[in-house]
Structure 1
Amino acid sequence: MNPMRRWTQQFKQEVIASRIETTCTLKQAISQSQSPPHSWVVLTGVGYYPSSQTLVYSEYSPGGDADFLSRLVRDWEDAAELPLKDGKPVTQLVKLRTGLVLGRNGGALPAMLWPFRLGLGGIVGSGKQPLPWIHIDDLCRLLCKAIEQEECVGGILNAVSPSSITDTNADFTRALSKALGRPAMLFTPAFAVKLLLGNDRAPMLLEGPRVAPQRTLQSGFSFLYPDLDAALAQLLS
């Protein structure tokens, strides 16, 4: 989802349809297949968890239902649940809840680079809001692990870097400024974000959950890029 687009009612319906209706179509195809796949991996998001600067959410934590995004992820994951056959699901389901995916050729990072390179980057809001993230290479490796390895199958994995437990918007701003060798002295006040995006969408930039990849690490997965400095250095090299 483009974080700069307003959430009109029409856009909300487009988001719901693209996630939930598509998932239902795939679920039906798996359910009716004569040879269903061993694993089905659904990528949702850490928006499932409530925003908090103090609480840390793992895969074992309950989700929120106070805003559109948390309800969307809950309904999205519910839509992915497969019917049972002889008391077992026809295919093992893995739910990957992703944070901000950092990559060179898509997502949020390329859009952030030009203002930072011009010295126009800076903190958004208070800067204290948590920022769960993952390097795209680690996301792809975790996706393969979830498909191929038995111990990952049939559960939830938080697809976020271990440092996401403490990383904030201010930490990301400093790390990106350092990686580019450019100052990041400006800041965008919360009221300006709310004016631009509206009260429904602004929380995506001004709030966030603190997320731990507890079950991901318990599965034996090892991150290639566990901290922001290493991730950004590789992506911007």
Structure 2
Amino acid sequence: MKVLIGGGSGFIGRALTQLLLSRGHEVTLVSRRPGANRITWNELTYSGLPPCEAVVNLAGENILNPFRRWNEAYQKDLLSSRLDTTRILATAIGQAKDPPKAWVLVTGIAYYQPSLTAEYDEDSPGGDFDFFSNLVSKWESAAKLPGDATRQVVVRSGAVLGQGGGAIGHMLLPFRLGLGGPIGSGQQFFPWIHIEDMSGILVHAMEKNHVNGILNGVSPAASTTNAEFAKALGAALGRPAFLPLPTTAVQAVFGRERAVMLLEGQKVIPRRTLASGYQYAFPELKAALKQVVS
């Protein structure tokens, strides 16, 4: 297939591109900068969709950027970086004379309301209780196409673990120094997925004609708590992991509203992902972390 990837230069995009190329597909990135095997967002807007069989959008400003203050300007950036790129791609797909077979969008499990007791699958309600859940709802709505000529898949991603980036990028140094530990109470659920499985699910969604609708991009080991994750990461590194990061410190860095993403969690089950036939490379946390820190 010829695959077009929006936001393909990031952590997930690099892994996805590598996997697609290894399977014999061709990849073109939509980027702000022109270059080999790239088109710009402006070119896409004015010239339309290049010939392709699948389109994926991974674009979006980093929600947990510790160097950005939580204010109205940052919130607008989070919205526009997701909604504008998604609308551009959806419009180009809708106007294409020969539309792609698959249109895949990656959003987030922030759609589901944090809870210590609830269990969510792809059919569970959500998307309407805070800034982040509303963001996911608007994001997914922006991706909808008017007809059914193109299969539409949304992957709601958990924390992505992998070498060289993702959720674990900022954690490794303190954990290597023996200064790691749970965040806040540590009792909140921590839905995670290995980068190989995240890119694997995306390719699965593109290649398999029966896959459509919502998929949860999380590991089947959904009952992992933040404290259990911290303990497992410390064990993988051969370091203690007993020093908790206080709630007040997290709120001071990220702001109260954004800190919820770290201090509270959801138990998310990939029921439809498994039912679609996807086989996980890293279903268990211990093996996933061993590969990440090796």
TM-score (norm 2): 0.77
Q: Following TM superposition, by how much is the alpha carbon of 1:2 offset from its aligned partner in structure 2, in angstroms?
A: 4.7
* Equivalent of residue 17 in structure 1, options 76, 80, 102: 80
Whether 1:55 aligns to 2:118 is: yes
Contact 1:101 1:135 in 2 (8 A): yes
Q: Which residue, 223, 228, 240 being the options, matches 1:183?
A: 240
Q: Report the Cα distance in structure 1 between the residues aligned to 2:272 and 2:231, rounded to whole angstroms.
A: 29
Matched, 1:126 2:185: yes
C-alpha deviations, 1:83-122, integer Å up to 9, x for none? 12xxxx2311000000000010111212211111111101
Corresponding position of 2:194: 135
Q: In the aligned structure 2, how far is the partner of 1:104 from the partner of 1:19?
A: 25
1:199-231 residue CA offsets vs partner (Å, 9 max, x unmatched): 111101101111000001111111110111010
Range that drifts further, 189-198 or 99-108: 189-198
Equivalent residue letter for 1:108: A
Distance 2:128 2:63 in 1: 22
In angstroms, what is the RMSD of aligned CA positions? 1.1
State percent identity of aligned pairs. 51
**1:113 and 2:176 are equivalent in the alignment:** no
Alignment partner, residue 90 of structure 1 = 149
CA distance in 1, matches of 2:242, 2:69: 27
Between the aligned partners of 1:29 and 1:163, the Cα distance in structure 2 is 37
Partner of 1:199: 256
**Residue equivalent to 1:159:** 217
Question: Are the aligned partners of 2:127 and 2:136 in contact in 1 as well (CA < 8 Å)?
Answer: no
Distance apart, 1:132 and its partner CA: 0.7
Q: Give the Å deviation of 1:45.
A: 0.5
CA deviation profile, 1:57-79 (whole Å, cap 9, x unmatched): 00011113121110000000011
Match of 2:231 in 1: 174
The answer to whether the 8 A contact 2:63-2:78 is kept is: no
Cα offset for 1:12? 0.5
Could you tell me whether the CA contact under 8 Å between 1:177 and 1:184 is conserved in 2?
yes
Give the structure 2 partner of residue 35 of structure 1.
Answer: 98
Which structure carries more helix by proportion? 1
Q: Quote the Cα distance in structure 1 between the aligned partners of 2:119 and 2:190.
A: 12
Secondary structure, counterpart of 2:193 in structure 1: strand
Count of paired positions: 231
4+ residue runs over 4 A deviation: none
Whether the 8 Å CA contact 1:161–1:226 is kept in 2: the answer is yes
Q: Deviations over 1:171-218 (max 9, x none)?
A: 110010000001112111212222222211110110111100000111
**1:6 aligns to 2:64 (yes or no):** no
Residue matched to 1:71 = 134
Q: Distance in 2 between matches of 1:64 and 1:76?
A: 10
Aligned counterparts of 1:33 and 1:196: Cα–Cα separation in 2: 44
| Paired AA for residue 231 in structure 1 | A
Work out whether residues 121 and 268 of structure 2, in 8 Å CA contact, stay in contact via their aligned partners in 1: yes
Q: Distance in 2 between matches of 1:76 and 1:198?
A: 23
Q: Is the 8 A contact 2:155 2:216 kept in 1?
A: yes
Aligned AA for 2:181?
Answer: G
Work out whether residues 31 and 90 of structure 1, in 8 Å CA contact, stay in contact via their aligned partners in 2: no
Following the alignment from structure 1 to structure 2, what is the Cα–Cα distance between the partners of residues 151 and 92? Answer: 9
Residue segments in structure 2 that go unaligned for 5+ positions in a row: 1-61
Q: Distance in 2 between matches of 1:77 and 1:181?
A: 41
